[in-house]
Structure formats: structure tokens, C-alpha cells
Structure 1
């Protein structure tokens, strides 16, 4: 009985995973692709962006809102996969976009559960890396983290950002380096050399721009990753195996800012950049309602780099409003800010 192949798209917050999946669906060329999105936050921004790539066709999309396919993977992942297996005759391929805060190995291990293994296989794990974030340190302030470790023994393994990055790289069958058009050749070579040092041996590295890459390079890799777990080191699982207490970083949280409309998108971005400078904010994403414009605007920000564009007309059934999801550490005061 033929198994449904699964492609896992992983990578830290804001690296371009959603744009990649959107383009995979948009350029499916008749292949019936189901998508499972695991978001960090209650508002399905990523899922909505992906749906816009389906055009007039119905989108096979399942959204999980807990943001962490990890230790609690069974709670939502298993029912979602069983639902897709029930419709296996309607599906050629499954794409799972993990949250930027999720470690991929527990998800891969879950494929070996008795209820799932006869029906699905991991075609590949694709890790997306933000080239600019690696060079600027926006991905992880390594110097600050190291100082914390040296100052406090309780932080021996609680390095969530660095740990996430290493676990995501160690699981990769393919690494896509995004936003390469923003770097000079010398800096890009530096990024690729760093990836080579941290990833598994001989993993292919491909540069992409704007999430565009031929699906022929992404689908049909046939890695059967679930059968190769021993060669994919996980810091996270190492701590559990050695009986170290593991606490998810509860200081990382999301807040939602909503208001009717945004008169000046440049002023909004300037305000958000100021907040990024003042607080530890990893990711900002959402939709913006520009008065007298029939199109919905998508806004995405990583560090102080922001991108915004109109993606589609507002639907008659939608409430037009600006709605932003902000992901960071110990976010409180920003919830009281009116961004107008």
C-alpha cells in the first residue's frame, strides 16, 4: 500500500517558510497537496496567506494553533494526521509547516506511531535559513546567551533560540537559504560555511529568493527520514535522555493588536521598528486595512526588516481591520499601544 509522502518545512520565525509553502501550492501543477500549518498564536495569519495560493481551488489546509509540535505532539498532530489519512485517495502529498518555535525531530518520530507508519512517510525535512539573520545576529544574540549561561548554572540547556536553530539544521535533508539577494557574495559564502559546520554531512544547500524554487527540487526526495533518526542529533532529546529538567520557554509569547484601519503604512512600520528596538521581538506578521483600498495588505517583519504588499481583495464576508500578531519575549506593554 503506497504511503503518502510528507515534506516538513521548518526554520526559525520569519525565515520565509509561509512564502515557500504558498508558492508550492500555487505551482502544484495538478498535484493534490494537503497542508498542515502549526502556528504560534491564535490568529491563523500563515494559513490565510497559504490559502491565497490556492486560487479558486479548495485548499486542503489544517491549522494547529498551539505553536509547538514537540513534547505534546500527540494532542493535536495525531488527530490531524488521522483526518488526512482518511482522505488519502484525495491527496498526493502532505506539506507540514512547523512553527518557528518547533523542533522537528519529535514530529518525525511521531510518524513511527503504529496508527501512522503504515500510511505515511517523511519524504524530506527542509530547513529554511534566513541569510541576513545569520549575518546580523537577528537569529540569535549568541554573545548575550553565552553570558547568561556563564552567569547562571540553571541556564545550561535553556537556550531556546540557539537550540532551535541547531535542532532544525541537524534534521535537515535539504537547507534553503532565503533572502540571499540582500547579501554580497562574500557574506553569503560565510553563511553557507556556517551551515555546513552545523548541519549533517553532505546536506544540499540551495539559495532562494522570495520563496521561489521548482517543486521538482522539493518533492520526491524519498529520504524516509523517520528511519534515519539516529543520525539526526537533537539537543532537546539529549536533555530528556539524561533526565535534565526541560522547560519550554514560557517567556516567549504572542500578543494580538487589532484596530479598524491604518491610514499610513510607513508610520505603522516606523512605530513597529521603534518597539523592536525597545523590546525583544522576534516576529511581526498580519494583515493591514488601508482605507479606500480594495486589496488586503500583508505585513511581515523580522528584526528591523519589514515587508508589506497587497495580496488579494478583501472578501465580502470578512471584517476589514488591521490585525497583527507579535511574537517575542515578555511582551506586555505593546498590547496597550494603539498603532494607528
Structure 2
């Protein structure tokens, strides 16, 4: 690549737990000789996704090419965080062939697209494509798209409910901004669930979008890299619920970091998280746990009451052996003492 060519950037968006980190991990390992760089935008102060990606770094995407931004949505901190980070990646020697940006699951992608119009970077990078990941099982269940019958029933039961939930708006904005949808976890949804999810996506998309089904983030990189969309030049064709607003807020959501001592077993922690999701309407739990008597660190990823755990690596001698979990919920559902007590058992 010469200095006369813009470096392509792929924005990977999608709801909490849709599989963004899993997808990018796969792309890193199967880059086909492309030198990749990654920007990870976390929600909350504990960097889980960035640590996962740095752990799978290879020569074509070394750890120094993975940069984590945990100070809020990058589209809200363009001058302070986003522009300097992009400039850092562009200054690498050798320069990356392609940059991947993993947005927070709560981020609206359109304001990020607008950031690419900044003079400092517009002539040097281009948005190759916006990829929206959608959890097939969750979409089929109607969690992230409007369900008029359900909304009407909710209105009847609770007069204070008179609009769509913030979650559905985030989902619709991600679809509206996308060049392609990756339908994830199709093995969990089954054929009927996949068909239902496809129908929801088709109904809620502002324009026809290609939909690709995948499991465990496995997809040929040639399918999603090299789209040449130049999406920063096509912003008007990507409508948003927030068009016309000067900025956007993330006050609909909140997160806390819960720190605990060793947990007894992975199964016991899983049970606590499942109960937490049911009793406190928790959207997401992610982090690391120290398991009593085990030298390995336990990676924890939960979407609602669906919990996955696995040992990812031994605890290092220079780090604290402690359980740290990020808990994300809609505002009004964060009761820190109660959540901490529930996780502590």
C-alpha cells in the first residue's frame, strides 16, 4: 500500500453479546497476509474485549496493533480519543493494510461515521464497510425490534410505557447504517429461528441488505473485507432515530464493575449470573473470575441469562488474582449493593 491510497476501515457493530469480539478474533487469525489493526471501544472501565483480542495476536496483527478505548463512546470523544488513536495506527511501521473498529454494543454507528469526515483523517482512511452483527436467537424472540402487539399489551398494562425501548432503537440504527448483516449463533436459533430473524431484519432495514449466517464468528474474510462502500460519503442514505440531534446520549444504560474474591466453581458463578439476569433485568455480564484452587483465569461472557465460561490462560505473577465483572443494564436497574451481593452469593 502506498501513501496515496486510503487505508480501509471496517466498523463492526452489533448488540451486546452478538459476537463482535469472536468475529474479529477469527479475522485476526485468518487475515490472509493482510496486516490488521484493531480499535476496541468498551462500555465500562474494565477492558475485557481488548484483552481477548490482544491474547490472540499474531505477526499480521501484533498486540501493539490492538488499541482499546474505554473512556466512553469514541464518537463522543472524537478529538480526544478517536483521532489520536487513528493517527497512532497510521504512524505504525509497517502501516496496517486494514483497520477494524469494534464498537460498544450500545453505540450508535452513524455518529462514528461522521467522525471520518474530520480533515485530519479524511484523506487518509475510508470506511470500507459497516458490518452489523445480530444474534439470531435473540432477534427471533423479538427482543431488539418493535413488536406492535407486545407494545400495545405493555401500554395497556403500564400507562407509563409510551415509546419503544432504547434497545430496539439501537438495533434499528445499527441495521440502518449497515452494508451487511452477519446473523450469528444460528446453531442456537435453529431453522425456524433463523427464518424469523431474517424476516425481522428485512422488515426493519431501511434498504435491502445481504445477510450472512455464521457460527462462532467463522466467515471467509473476503466476504466482509474489501466492500469498498466509502460509507462516509453515503451518510444521508443511512437514516437514524437520532438524525437532527446535535449529539446522542448513553444515559439509557449504566454499568458497574463488581470485584469479588475467588468463586467456588464456574457452575456456581453461572447460577448466580442467571439469577441476576432474571431478578434485576441485567443485559450483560463480562469479565474474569478467579476460581478457588485453579491456576487458570476464567473468562466470563453472559447475555441475559445465557452464560458462557472458559479458562483462557494462567494468572500472571504480576497481576492481582481477583474476580472482576462488568455488569451492564438499562438505567434504573443498577442497584450496586444488591447486584454485588447477588454475585457474591
Same fold (TM over 0.5): yes
CA distance in structure 2 between the partners assigned to 1:288 and 1:180 by the alignment: 28
1:194 to 193, 197, 200: 200
Do the aligned partners of residues 148 and 106 (structure 1) sit closer, same or farther apart at CA in structure 2, a change above 3 Å counting?
farther
Do the aligned partners of residues 249 and 98 (structure 1) sit closer, same or farther apart at CA in structure 2, a change above 3 Å counting?
closer
Q: Which runs of 5+ in 2 are unaligned?
A: none
Do the aligned partners of residues 144 and 311 (structure 1) sit closer, same or farther apart at CA in structure 2, a change above 3 Å counting?
farther
Do the aligned partners of residues 12 and 145 (structure 1) sit closer, same or farther apart at CA in structure 2, a change above 3 Å counting?
farther
Do structure 1's residue 2 and structure 2's residue 5 form an aligned pair? yes
Report matched runs for 1:285-324 at 5 Å: 285-324=286-325
Say if 1:69 and 1:104, in contact at 8 Å, map to a contact too. no
| Deviation at residue 28 of structure 1 after TM alignment | 2.2
2:107 paired residue number: 102
1:47 to 33, 45, 50: 50
2:25 to 8, 22, 26: 22
1:124-144 residue CA offsets vs partner (Å, 9 max, x unmatched): 000000111112344468535
| Deviation at residue 115 of structure 1 after TM alignment | 1.0
Do the aligned partners of residues 216 and 326 (structure 1) sit closer, same or farther apart at CA in structure 2, a change above 3 Å counting?
same
| Deviation at residue 202 of structure 1 after TM alignment | 3.2
Q: What secondary structure does 2:207 align onto?
A: coil
Report matched runs for 1:93-242 at 5 Å: 93-139=98-144, 143=150, 147=154, 151=159, 159-238=165-244, 240=245
TM-score (norm: length of structure 1): 0.90
CA distance in structure 1 between the partners assigned to 2:50 and 2:23 by the alignment: 12
CA distance in structure 1 between the partners assigned to 2:20 and 2:176 by the alignment: 17
Q: What secondary structure does 1:123 align onto?
A: strand
Query: What is the RMSD computed on CA atoms of the aligned residues?
Result: 2.5
Say if 1:254 and 1:327, in contact at 8 Å, map to a contact too. yes
Do the aligned partners of residues 236 and 173 (structure 1) sit closer, same or farther apart at CA in structure 2, a change above 3 Å counting?
same
2:35 paired residue number: 32
CA distance in structure 1 between the partners assigned to 2:63 and 2:74 by the alignment: 26
1:64 paired residue number: 69
| Deviation at residue 211 of structure 1 after TM alignment | 1.2
Do the aligned partners of residues 208 and 121 (structure 1) sit closer, same or farther apart at CA in structure 2, a change above 3 Å counting?
same
Q: What secondary structure does 2:8 align onto?
A: strand
CA distance in structure 2 between the partners assigned to 1:181 and 1:292 by the alignment: 34
CA distance in structure 2 between the partners assigned to 1:15 and 1:223 by the alignment: 23
Q: Which runs of 5+ in 1 are unaligned?
A: none
CA distance in structure 2 between the partners assigned to 1:198 and 1:135 by the alignment: 13
CA distance in structure 1 between the partners assigned to 2:126 and 2:203 by the alignment: 28
Say if 2:175 and 2:204, in contact at 8 Å, map to a contact too. yes
Q: Which sits farther off after the overlay, 198-207 or 123-132?
A: 198-207
Say if 1:4 and 1:88, in contact at 8 Å, map to a contact too. no
